[in-house]
A and B are shown apart, each in its own frame.
Chain A
Amino acid sequence: MSIKPLVAPVALVVVAAFAVPASAGNKLVPAGQRIAVAKSAMTVQPGTEWNKLSERPGRKAETWTQDGDELNDLTFYGGIESGKPLFREVDRKNQPLPKVSATMLITDIPVLLENSYRIALGAASVRIDTIEPIPFAGAKGVHFTYTFSKQNETLQRRGDARGAIIGGKLYLVTYEAPSLYYYDRSAAAARVVADSVQF
């Protein structure tokens, strides 16, 4: 999930400052080693190298990338509890995100992602394309694909997600990249990681 806060255009004062990340220290994720992700019991085993970004989308989430999160973004949500949003809320008061519920059905997982993105991106162009049942780390899970673009952007992004509600918590792995070139480029590597999820 690489949705950066949508900064409200403050009048005409366009600040041309360059984005300086608050914290640094992106770490190498080596190929072939099983590793715990998103501060959870969920582990994965990548087949290729990835970079783990120091900036997390939420407390129980982490993002891996190969070329930067705008170009390929593999995010793990490691057990989002009932009552919590999928990722950090930018404006809790005026734009609250939908919350995970322990009684969610498996069909509600794509809806949660879709609605969270619609609110965070300020755009209606988020579409779930396919949905199918899959086993996810031994549980009954869902695999879905989606497309979206940010408000006022032409660049389309594709997403592929798989997840399940396990013990009343949401576990989800998403892979996203621009449809042009980048999606296909890392899709296989991302699939290896998503297929390797264990607890």
Chain B
Amino acid sequence: MGASDDIGGIMLKSCRALLAALSLSLAVAAPAYAQEKTGAKPGFSLMPGTARIVLMRPSIRVGAQSTGGMYEPNADWTDQARENIAAALAKAQTGLGNSVVAYAEPLGADGAKVAEYRELFGAVASSVIEYQFFKGNRLPTKKRKDQFEWGLGPDVRALPGLDTADYALFITTEDHFGSTGRKVLQVFAAMARIPVAAGVHKGFAGLVDLRTGDLVWLNADMQMGGDVRDAEGADKRVRQLLEGFPGKPVEASVVSAPAIAASPAIASAH
């Protein structure tokens, strides 16, 4: 935004709104409200044998967090993260006997359709998080035991390139690595007993069964571990992203790393 955003001299932004936004950016130290992270369709398991999983273009944002809490996008880190996460994902899934192929996005009218489904997935994922995972706002009809009924509809299979696949995997991650300034600020703030979070590390992943259009699994984590800028960290991130993945547990071969316990460590890891 900023300089190039608008020309109408009419746009005055109220001071209060800006200060409010800024103070919010200081206080993102996430309160520990009751929030589930993972849901899966009861009784569902991955097709036996080799499942063909198409990885939809992941949304990956990696940058730094300035002292004042501003997000500073970093193109190199994002490129590294893209490669690292794709590699880690392929490794994790081939270990399970599945294949992961990156989706080749079509152009033109089909491209618009893919964009629309991507936004639908976003709307579904936010609904799952807000109205099922978040207990305080859970819908009464979503409260029942072992219930996980969400989806994109069976027509998603009609997207070009998805007709021969079994599952579509959606992944979103966002990392703001706290700058040195932010961490120093955090130390001083702690002395003044003001909670200041350094770093934002969140992500979510969902798997859609392309035969039915059902969302069979969703995992959302607001405090993730693993530095996506290196291969090892990306492995860890992918393990956390795939927590609760249906079928054989991905973490089985690895020492399980509960995300919540790991999160304070990440904040200071960089």
Contact = CB atoms under 8 A, between A and B. Distances in A.
Interface of A: 8-21, 24, 26-28, 49-51, 65-68, 70-71, 153-156, 178, 180-182, 185
Given A18-B30, A21-B137, A185 B1 contact: no
A8 B30 contact: no
A17 B33 contact: no
Contacts of A15: 21, 24-25, 28
Given A26-B137, A154-B115, A181-B213, A9 B1 contact: yes
Interface residues of B, number: 49
A13 B70 contact: yes
Contacts of B137: 21, 24, 26
Contact of B71 (A12, A68, A70, A185): A12
A32 to B, nearest CB: 15
Contact of A17 (B13, B22, B24): B24
B112 A154 contact: yes
A182 B120 CA distance: 10
16 contacts: A9-B1, A10-B13, A10-B21, A11-B13, A11-B18, A12-B2, A12-B70, A13-B22, A16-B202, A18-B222, A21-B134, A21-B136, A26-B139, A51-B141, A70-B126, A154-B116
A8 B13 contact: yes
Contacts, number: 110
A67 B150 contact: yes
A178 B123 contact: yes
B263 to A, nearest CB: 14
A98 to B, nearest CB: 21
Contact of B153 (A70, A156, A181): A181
A16 B126 contact: no
A180 B159 CA distance: 12
A11 B119 contact: no
A65 B2 CA distance: 38
B103 interface: no
B139 to A, nearest CB: 4
Contacts of A10: 13, 17-18, 21
Contact of B141 (A13, A18, A66, A181): A66
A71 B131 CA distance: 11
Contacts of A71: 123-124, 127
Given A180-B117, A181-B152, A16 B22 contact: no
Q: Would you list the 3 A-B pairs with minimal beta carbon distance, nearest first?
A: A181-B153, A68-B127, A28-B140
A13 B153 contact: no
Interface string B154-191: 01000000000000000000101000000000000000
B207 interface: no
Contacts of B127: 67-68, 70-71
Given A24-B136, A70-B127, A181-B153, A16 B200 contact: yes
A180 B153 contact: yes
